[in-house]
Amino acid sequence: MLSGQIIARGIDATRTIEAMCSVPRHAFLPEHSLKAAYRDRPQRIGHGQTISQPYIIALMTSQLEELPRDSRILEIGSGCGYQTAILVQMGFEVHALEIVPELVEHSSEVLRELNLSPASLACADGRAGLPSTAPFSAVLSAACPIEAPITWIDQLSLGGILVAPIGTRSDQHLVRMEKDADDVILTKTLCPVRFVPLV
């Protein structure tokens, strides 16, 4: 998976690759998806949700590559917990939100078994972010809003990074936003994507 789908496509972020090498993707998937766990495509995890393809997870995570260990990260739409585990493995202080209670319950159990539990994992509306724990060095979303909620931007520290799909159900792009020292948001479009909508 790593050599053929990620490194071969230009991602050379060492910490990201090492974390993805350490975290067993199949542990987070339902039994019917196990044979396809390491293929480069999204997989259904139930409740109308999916786990992103490995390349997209690597691309999103690599945007945080240069952040120091213990940086505080807000993850929106943690789903089955795979991305959460990778961020924890990289040494970040991860605060994850997921709106589907069954996914929160299942991912909490898997993360605990792997000794990769985040600092917090809550069932909550991701649009509001987590103001009680802000500011964050990064906000990473696996659900797509039409535009970035101002709450996410407000909860970024100066120099903070927001990585999220932005757009409509049929027209989405993965975007990196960075809040510079003057509180100006610098935006870079990374690639077209298709994520579940932020609800």
158 assigned to some structural domain: yes
| Within-domain flag for 56 | yes
- The single residue of 52, 62, 78, 117 carrying the catalytic annotation is 52
| Full 3-state SS string of the chain | CHHHHHHHHCCCCHHHHHHHHHCCHHHHCCHHHHHHCCCCCCEEEECCEEECCHHHHHHHHHCCCCCCCCCEEEEECCCCCHHHHHHHHCCCEEEEEECCHHHHHHHHHHHHHCCCCCCEEEECCHHHCCCCCCCEEEEEECCECCCCCHHHHHCEEEEEEEEEEEECCCCEEEEEEEECCCCCEEEEEEEEECCCECC
Domain membership of residue 107 as a residue range: 2-193
- pTM of the complete model: 0.92
Domain-embedded: residue 199 = no
pLDDT (tens, 9 = 90+) of the chain, 199 residues, equals 677 778 888 898 999 999 999 999 999 987 776 777 777 777 878 777 877 889 999 999 999 999 999 999 999 999 999 999 999 999 999 999 999 999 999 999 999 999 999 999 999 999 999 999 999 999 999 999 999 999 999 999 999 999 999 999 899 999 999 998 788 899 999 999 999 899 7
109 to 121, 125, 144: CA distances (angstroms): 11, 21, 26
Known catalytic residue: 52? yes
The reported pLDDT for the residue numbered 72 is 98
**Total count of domains within the chain:** 1
Q: Is residue 66 part of a domain?
A: yes
Beta-bridged to residue 191, according to DSSP, are 174
In a domain, 124, yes or no: yes
Q: What is the CATH number of the domain that holds 50?
A: 3.40.50.150
Task: Please check whether residue 198 lies inside any domain of the structure.
Answer: no
- If one counts every other C-beta atom within 10 angstroms of the C-beta of residue 167, the result is 19
Q: Cα–Cα distance between 23 and 192 in angstroms, integer?
A: 26
Q: Which tokens go with 195?
A: 């994520």
Is the Cα dihedral 107, 162, 52, 66 positive or negative? Answer: negative
